[in-house]
A = this chain, B = another copy of it.
Amino acid sequence: MKKAVILLSGGLDSATILALARQQGFACYALSVDYGQRHHAELAAAQRVARALGVVEQRVISIDLTGFGGSALTDARIAVPERPTQGIPLTYVPARNTIMLSLALAWAEVLQAQDIFIGVNAVDYSGYPDCRPEYIDAFERMANLATRSAVEGKRLVLHAPLLHLSKAEIIKCGAQLGVDYSLTVSCYQADGEGCACGMCDSCRLRHAGFDAAGMADPTRYRGA
């Protein structure tokens, strides 16, 4: 079985790509990153999802990005917006996907895996620059120059299977593969139990996705 590293945040999208990678026959190594995120509950969700869907191994690697700050997710003084905003929102974390992908690249090389999965989406998304197709292509190109494996001619493939799907399509796809979305946490300000605020960008996109998919939203909302 070919190995793949799956970036598993514990949200809806990353749970879906883990299910997709398993369906495609990969032996899955899930990498979760504790970067000091406000919604720390997503890490517990990542563990639940990894267990439910079956991975060979899950690693949680710590890198404290609160020292850099610059985002509502890594600086407690910046509030998570609870209404739609224009442009790139305050929840954008500087270089987050680049940092996570570089860690996935390191682990992939040690595992001799040639495949990395990331759950970025450029349709129903928050408008983060590091979720765009051109960014994903550029990272893959760079990765294929960065490593010993690359020099040895082994090509690394960066899979972003959700890139062009709507949230509803992602949910339908995952549901068909048996993903239990009640295990996942998407809310940018989920509480310690993983209960969602229902108002942030991520909650809105998620709820609208279940609606459009014609499915009941299994999210646990605070005070509900």
Contact = CB atoms under 8 A, between A and B. Distances in A.
A105 B94 contact: yes
A145 B138 contact: yes
A95 interface: yes
B69 A110 contact: yes
A61 B67 contact: yes
A68 B99 CA distance: 15
B135 A151 contact: no
B145 A134 contact: yes
Nearest to A103: B99
A6 interface: no
Nearest to A69: B110
B142 A70 contact: no
Copies in the complex: 2
Interface string A42-86: 000000000000000001011111011110000000000000000
Contact of A88 (B93, B94, B145, B148): B148
A86 to B, nearest CB: 13
A192 interface: no
Nearest to A110: B70
Interface string A113-140: 0000000000000000110101100110
Shortest beta-carbon contacts, A-B, top 7: A70-B110, A95-B106, A94-B109, A138-B142, A98-B102, A135-B145, A95-B105
5 contacts: A68-B110, A94-B107, A96-B106, A98-B146, A99-B103
